[in-house]
Chains A and B, each alone.
Chain A
Amino acid sequence: MGERSPCSLTALGVVNCLGRNPSEIWKRLIEGDQSGFRQRTDFVPDRSLWVGEVRDSLPELPPELSRFACRNNALTLLALEQIRGEFETALSRFGSDRIGVILGTSTSGVGDAESAIAHQIESGALSSRFHYDQLEFGGASSFVAELLGLGGPAYTLSTACSSGARALASARSLIRLGVCDAVIAGATDSLCGLTTSGFSALQALSDEITNPMSGNRKGLTLGEGAALFLVTADPDGIQLLGVGESSEAHHMSAPDPAGTGARSAMEFALTDAGLGASEIDYLNLHGTGTPLNDSMESVAVDTVFDSGVPCSSTKAVVGHTLGAAGAMEAAFCWLLLAARDGDQLTLPPHCWDGVQDETLPVLALAEKGQCVRAAHPARVMSNSFGFGGNNCTLVLGEPS
């Protein structure tokens, strides 16, 4: 292991269809509250789709940054505002040149580009409100760097569903390389016509709310949101203990059914954290509700955790937030640890129809209200297995 510095997830800002702050989101998450979903008929022609949408108005960007204006960056702003206080502390401690930004996204400003291109089709010109900075992926991280006046490295990772988890992994490395003392790391994705139409064309979307691990599962429910962490080398606070990465080398839109890539990611994360599988108190599944992911992941989880592990997919409550998912679900793991009550951890329940897929190993899916007894320090794991076969598993834990 060597003398590697600790990595603390010092503060969290999060927004999704359940709410606009951690306590609101956590409360609805542990209740398995699916009322954050609503139906939209305007994304895909002739289809009514359930989506986990962030409702009501979003903040405007400051006028001097209007070239970055898009739904994605407005969601980022909502999450950033929640960690403003801790950020200011880090700023006085370290200085602006020592703070970096690594964000993940799979959409950036595509939704707003759809309006701009529609305008061009009708009138021959892009809307004057459109700027390339809002669309290109690099704009997502530049926006934050410009907004906060940061001189540290700023870049955007885009590896589909693993983007947000990768952002945390790279943030930890930047601190260990001595390039940064703090990093704003996380991910944002927003609902848009292109992504919903694309997944619909792949026949990956369910007509009903997603039903992960069920014998009746029929596909994804999409969601949107942002989850941003302030990452530092603090030994106190919830720690990023381990990162495991792999690629599938199989197919662009389907994982290797044997689950080899998923298994590698989980095992590498455990090794990196210096832990055995039996030391994990909860696993947040990738659990997208597609036939292929859930069968692959069940097999991989059953192999890695031969005594089982309490687990759930939170995508049945917030949707699959795609590029944001890896950070969003790390956020849920963070909230779980932060909500410790004595020796009990309350688990986000696995919402499904309860119908076991007989062809798959049985997992210890958490029920509503379920708690586990976990001695200090508790450790939890989060899986993100991305489109294009890009896998990243994280291990979070309480400080020892």
Chain B
Amino acid sequence: MEATVRGWSAWAPSLEDAQSWERWAEQPVPLGAEGVPDAKFLPPMLRRRCTPLTKIMLRVAFDACPEAERGHVRTVFASRHGSINESIDMIGAVVRQERLSPAKFSHTVHNAQAGLFSIAAGNREASASLAAQSDTFPFGFLEALTHLEREPDRPVLFVTADVPLAPTFAPLVSEATASYAVGLVLANDGPGPRIGFEIAPGDGAASARWPQAAEFLRWWLAGTDALQMEGARQQFRWSRL
């Protein structure tokens, strides 16, 4: 499979612009866990209701896509944990038989970020939200390619993000913890470098120093011809074409 990378963006604590990420790609360090970007680009009513994950995802979505295009791209939002942290609080309320806040509930569906982006950007195009355990990034990339299959002339904005799991569940999951988002705009043609993507059987020997999306970005910005990534059941390979 192939695509053109029309643009990219990313955010993590203290890594808020392209130059910072290019320096990070040369000398990577673990990504921070605490902090959120400012969300001044969102109207106040929407901004108030945003969870940390939402702010991070939407900041990167807006940065990846120039304003003129924001309303015209398909979108794919990928997050392993999504709004689980906020769900924990609501589940506690349910268990204690307390009333739920309807606004909070609306904002914890897994596609909340997609819905909010659609509203903030006036975007009426197709949108998907997904999760795939530790392989959320590569399968999000694949889902983005399915959107190019369905509508070959429309670019796809693909954003992967997560924030650290709350203490209730954090001890149960072994992963590189960070607050981060990585965004790519993929298309079938147009200006930008070409990228190849293959999936092959793997033996499940996955372990990562940083989130997969950050590993991808590190390679894209500073790496060699190909990136091989081990997943739970597959091997993923990206290459410069």
Contact = CB atoms under 8 A, between A and B. Distances in A.
Interface in A114-166: 114, 117-118, 120-121, 126, 130-133, 135-139, 141-142, 145, 150-151, 153-160, 166
A247 interface: yes
Given A156-B131, A177-B145, A194 B102 contact: no
Given A154-B139, A247-B118, A388-B109, A198 B125 contact: no
A176 to B, nearest CB: 6
Given A137-B82, A247-B127, A173 B146 contact: yes
Given A388-B114, A388-B115, A153 B133 contact: no
Interface stretch (B59-67, B85-93, B186-194): B85-93
A194 B91 contact: yes
Given A153-B199, A173-B146, A166 B128 contact: yes
Contact of A246 (B114, B125, B143): B125
Contacts of B95: 114, 117-118, 121, 193
Contacts of A249: 118-119, 121-124
B224 interface: no
A388 B49 CA distance: 14
A117 B91 contact: yes
A154 B94 contact: no
Interface string A337-364: 0000000000000000000000000000
A21 interface: no
A117 B92 contact: yes
Nearest to B134: A138
B91 A113 contact: yes
Contacts of A120: 168
Interface stretch (A70-78, A216-224, A250-258, A300-308): A250-258
Contact of A114 (B91, B115, B149): B91
A251 B115 CA distance: 8
A281 to B, nearest CB: 24
Contact of A157 (B92, B107, B115, B128): B128
Interface in B106-122: 106-107, 109-112, 114-116, 118-119, 121-122
A169 B146 CA distance: 9
Contact of A386 (B82, B87, B111): B111
Contact of B94 (A151, A194, A243): A194
B105 interface: yes
Contacts of A150: 233
Given A117-B92, A120-B168, A155 B84 contact: no
A70 B147 CA distance: 31
A88 B156 CA distance: 35
A151 B201 contact: yes
B131 A136 contact: yes
Contacts of A159: 110-111, 114, 127-129
A382 interface: no
Interface in A165-220: 166, 169-170, 173-174, 176-177, 179, 193-194, 197-203
Contact of B172 (A131, A137, A145, A202): A131
A173 B95 CA distance: 41
A284 interface: no
Contacts of B232: 142
B142 A179 contact: yes
A117 B168 contact: yes
Contacts of A154: 132, 139, 233
A158 B111 contact: yes
A10 B229 CA distance: 33
B100 interface: yes
Given A113-B91, A177-B149, A135 B84 contact: yes
In the A-B complex, the 7 residue pairs with the smallest Cβ-Cβ separation, listed nearest first, are: A388-B115, A245-B126, A173-B146, A158-B110, A198-B105, A138-B133, A155-B132
7 contacts: A138-B132, A155-B142, A157-B129, A158-B109, A194-B87, A245-B74, A390-B127
Given A118-B95, A121-B95, 12 more contacts: A137-B110, A138-B133, A154-B132, A155-B139, A156-B130, A156-B132, A157-B129, A159-B110, A159-B127, A246-B124, A249-B122, A251-B119
